[in-house]
A and B are shown apart, each in its own frame.
Chain A
Amino acid sequence: MMTTQQGSLDTAAPLAPDITAPAPPEGLSAAQRLLSLQRRFPLVQLLLTVAVLGWGAAAMPGFLDPTSLRSVLVLCALTGLASIGQTLVVLIRGIDLSLAGFIVAGAVTVTQFGDVPGVPLPVMLVLAVVCGGATGGLVGYLCHRFAIHPIIVTLAAGSIAVGVTAVLSGGGTGAGAPGWVVRLSAPMSSTFGLPVPPVVVIWGLAVVAVSVLLHRTRSGRRLLATGASPVAAELAHISTRKVWVTVYAVSAALAILAGVVLAGFAGNVDNRLGNPYLFQSIAAVVLGGTAFGGPGSYTRTTVGVLLLTTVSTVLVGLGFQEADQQILNGVVILAAMALYGRERRLRDQV
């Protein structure tokens, strides 16, 4: 009886056709191709952005003026910079609620500690980034080492960051940011002759840098693998704890820097400065189609940022109230979740 079975394992019979393998590309209909493109790149979101821009242009004369476009770009850049860390964190199956706190910390550093005798502002900023990064790293370590959900740890860390900043600054709201910080995000300023404010150029460079880092370096590959399957990554000799510590450290440090830029943009800094950006960073990541643990990329988040910002700008321009915007934001996020959540379920079934 068993000899026949052994025989079967070693014969040269060809494999049965594998129906789970994808059909060759030439066999795909146009619709399927678009669908597969959508899976890799947020095409629908990009088209929606263009449509909303068109809507804005039709409804408001002057909406596509260079001046007005610059303002929109600045808003995009601010949200975009605040979303870098969130993207990385979501890709390793985490979430970062401490963003708001670190943004405030960064902003207050600029407005309050710019004139401490003997310590020039740049040194102060480096100090802030290092402290923020260290705190972030500790957050990543705690989450990983003790398997605590990042919601809890980052909520605590953000609160501590705001508190410590308030204690150090004596709770003062402070003077405004120095001129060079204000110019970073002033819509009419230019960058080395380019007719866009520095913050937009910085954001553009960040998009390229983060994308290269994520997809073309070993560190990026380790990060993505950690998100895709922590167990498999660990067995492939990737230290997932190092990844968690690094990603949370980077996220906090970037939030501090985003806070610096925001201080110049907002003028008036208070404890709630970071809150809208925390919400928008999560919204942009989700809208762009990055899933917890991947797949995802910062390019997707960038498209999410463009869509989110365009929609809210157009709504403001058309005279909608903030409450209307909030409703729409919520609906849009649910729609994105429905789209991507469904796709993943489908994949699990096959």
Chain B
Amino acid sequence: MPTHPLTTGPEAVLAVDGLRKHFGPTVALQDAALRLFPGEVHALVGENGSGKSTLVKILSGVHRPDTGSMTVGGRAFAPRNPAQALRAGIDTVFQEVLGVENRTVLDNLWLGADRPLRPVARDAGRREKAAEVLAALLVTPPPLDAPFGSLQLSDRQACGIARSLLRDPRVLILDEATSALDLDTRTRLFTLVKERAAQGMSVVLITHRMDEIREIGDRVTVLRSGRTVGTLGADWDHDEMIRLMTGGAHLVPPADSSEPAACDPAERPVVLRVTGSRLRPGGQPCHAEFRRGEIVGLAGLEGHGQDEFLRLLLGHGDTEGVVRTEGDGEHRVTDPRRARDLGIAYVARDRRGESILPWMSILDNFAVATADRDVRGGLLSEAAAERRFAHYVERLAIKYGRSSDAVTTLSGGNQQKVVIARWLAADPEILLLNDPTRGIDVGAKRDLYRLLRELSAQGLTVVMLSSEVDEHVELMDRVLVFREGSLAAGLARTELDRERLVDAFFDGAAVTA
């Protein structure tokens, strides 16, 4: 275990030591420390539950620590609310996109920094500055007078970041704030961040993407179970970081994941077919076939039609050409309930908002879609549900205390596993997943990949939308790439690599943009 290479010096713009915070019986932070120097981009990494979010919320004045010291520019710093943190020059962009839907983009950009009786819209200077930052971030910036609610997710997040940049903070904290950005905006953001850093702004970057840290991170601080376990310099080594995050576990080289499938996928029967459906009015008709036991990735820049395609397979939208084939039988997938009856299950994108039943038990969350099977003598039998659940606990390596505990007591990764178990319990033949690894830790991701490979080997067809390029390269048998609302390309396992895939995202898009 390396010692903390935390140089103590007055020159640190932000210094944190011995920070502790508990919520009820849960200790979220035990001993967190951080040194942030002017002009550096400092990544904060750790698995889910390691205390990153709590640390950021303390820095931004959302929570107050139990004990510990914080200084900004050498002065004691103890924000009692987010406004005080802002005044001290610490500005945080959170993963959740926060904006006022029915106000304009411009109002949202100056939100909190606006002045009474002086509408931002008539302040030419502010208009200009806002337009400038937006133009630097986005290829096609939205009109300043457009309602915020009309923006795409990626643009909303970009506006959130622009809002912070406009305030010109000493310390900018990006807490998973790049997760919804499309690739292009992310690249532009990083360029902008580097420029600002060169002028002295410090950045704390929290992200699940190693490539982002590699790209702009100067140093990396690793948190584990609420403690700072080390800070790595610019020459950080990937294995060392993983070792720090997981607690020094011995690393074993990965199994060869690119091993070709046992039998030629092209010989397997088609289970689902899309013929000529349009993802958007005026879009190109899509044609695709899915075979038994395939893992197919849906890729593309954010908002280029992959969401609509997945929804199509679930029975939403132009389902005229969506057909489930079983043997000689052909059945149209007309709506979500029909899709379920035809053996299609769907794991939604937003775990908190669309998947979990927050206060209900782990067991209830598992059984909600298949409760019919637990009826004994007219009543629901907990024991029956428990028996069904036990099967998946083992298979998905779900870690929990008691199945009667609320599902929210689990970490994000384990919650996602419970949701996936919910849908596997319906014995689907086709499993649709919408970015299931977003925001879950490395360990849970690994468990999920292993599971999906096992299931596909047993004949399950997996169609998975993912916003991570690496996930496609690592997991998929084949990837469908979407561009401008249409299915644009298909890449087979043999031709699948990072460069080709990213190239397929942009091919053509750059010309017409």
Closest B residue to A24 using CB positions: B401
Residues of B within 8 A of A338 (CB): none
Contact of A225 among B25, B336, B357, B446 (CB under 8 A): B357
Please tell me if the beta carbons of B410 and A21 are within 8 angstroms of each other in the complex. yes
Please tell me if the beta carbons of A18 and B257 are within 8 angstroms of each other in the complex. no
Please tell me if the beta carbons of A5 and B210 are within 8 angstroms of each other in the complex. yes
Please tell me if the beta carbons of A218 and B375 are within 8 angstroms of each other in the complex. yes
Please tell me if the beta carbons of B410 and A350 are within 8 angstroms of each other in the complex. no
* Interface pick from A201-209, A233-241, A320-328: A233-241
Complex alpha-carbon distance, A233 and B336, angstroms: 13
Closest B residue to A32 using CB positions: B25
Decide: A14 near B210, CB < 8 A? Known: A20-B409, A20-B410: no
Decide: A225 near B360, CB < 8 A? Known: A16-B443, A232-B354: yes
Contact of B360 among A1, A19, A224, A238 (CB under 8 A): A224
Chain A positions 1-50 with a Cβ under 8 Å from a chain B Cβ: 1-2, 4-25, 28, 32
Residues of A within 8 A of B411 (CB): 18, 20-21
| A194 beta carbon closer than 8 Å to chain B | no
Per-position binary interface string of chain B over residues 402-435, scored 1 when its CB falls under 8 Å from any chain A CB and 0 otherwise: 1001101111001000000010000000000000
Closest A residue to B469 using CB positions: A2
Please tell me if the beta carbons of B50 and A1 are within 8 angstroms of each other in the complex. no
Decide: A216 near B26, CB < 8 A? Known: A8-B238, A11-B251: no
Smallest Cβ distance from B18 to chain A, in angstroms?
Answer: 18
Residues of B within 8 A of A32 (CB): 25
| B252 beta carbon closer than 8 Å to chain A | yes
| B179 beta carbon closer than 8 Å to chain A | no
Please tell me if the beta carbons of B357 and A229 are within 8 angstroms of each other in the complex. yes
The interface centre, meaning the residue of B359, B371, B441 with most chain A CB atoms within 10 A of its CB, is B359
Closest B residue to A218 using CB positions: B371
* Interface pick from B240-248, B324-332, B480-488: B240-248
Contact of B470 among A2, A23, A224 (CB under 8 A): A2
Contact of B474 among A6, A237, A294, A347 (CB under 8 A): A6
Residues of B within 8 A of A13 (CB): 242, 246, 249-252, 443
Please tell me if the beta carbons of B26 and A20 are within 8 angstroms of each other in the complex. yes
| B24 beta carbon closer than 8 Å to chain A | yes
Decide: A232 near B443, CB < 8 A? Known: A5-B238, A16-B225: no
Please tell me if the beta carbons of B211 and A2 are within 8 angstroms of each other in the complex. yes
Contact of B371 among A19, A221, A232 (CB under 8 A): A221
Complex alpha-carbon distance, A23 and B26, angstroms: 9
Chain A positions 79-98 with a Cβ under 8 Å from a chain B Cβ: none
Complex alpha-carbon distance, A296 and B30, angstroms: 34
Residue count of chain B within 8 Å CB distance of chain A: 79
The interface centre, meaning the residue of B340, B360, B402 with most chain A CB atoms within 10 A of its CB, is B360
Contact of A15 among B47, B367, B409 (CB under 8 A): B47
| B281 beta carbon closer than 8 Å to chain A | no
Chain A positions 290-341 with a Cβ under 8 Å from a chain B Cβ: 291, 294-295
Chain B positions 442-496 with a Cβ under 8 Å from a chain A Cβ: 442-446, 449-450, 470, 473-474
Smallest Cβ distance from B276 to chain A, in angstroms?
Answer: 27
Closest B residue to A291 using CB positions: B359
Closest A residue to B409 using CB positions: A22
Contact of A9 among B224, B371, B446 (CB under 8 A): B446
Closest A residue to B360 using CB positions: A228
Residues of A within 8 A of B450 (CB): 10
Closest A residue to B351 using CB positions: A232
Residues of B within 8 A of A57 (CB): none
Contact of A14 among B238, B246, B498 (CB under 8 A): B246
10 other A-B residue contacts (CB within 8 Å) besides A5-B470, A233-B357: A1-B214, A11-B254, A19-B51, A216-B380, A218-B372, A221-B371, A236-B368, A237-B369, A350-B24, A350-B408
Q: Which 10 A/B pairs are nearest by Cβ-Cβ distance?
A: A10-B254, A228-B357, A13-B249, A4-B238, A15-B443, A236-B369, A216-B379, A295-B359, A5-B210, A13-B246
- Listed in ascending order, the chain B residues whose CB lies under 8 Å from chain A are 23-28, 46-47, 49-51, 63, 210-211, 214, 224-226, 238-239, 242, 245-247, 249-255, 257, 336-337, 340, 346, 348, 353-360, 364, 367-369, 371-372, 375, 378-380, 399-402, 405-406, 408-411, 414, 422, 441-446, 449-450, 470, 473-474, 498
- Listed in ascending order, the chain A residues whose CB lies under 8 Å from chain B are 1-2, 4-25, 28, 32, 212, 216-218, 221, 224-225, 228-229, 231-233, 235-238, 291, 294-295, 346-347, 349-350
What are 24 residue pairs bridging A and B, where the CB atoms are less than 8 Å apart in the complex? A1-B211, A2-B211, A6-B473, A6-B474, A9-B445, A15-B399, A16-B49, A16-B246, A16-B247, A19-B51, A19-B225, A20-B49, A21-B399, A21-B409, A21-B410, A23-B25, A218-B380, A228-B358, A235-B346, A235-B355, A236-B368, A237-B336, A238-B368, A347-B408
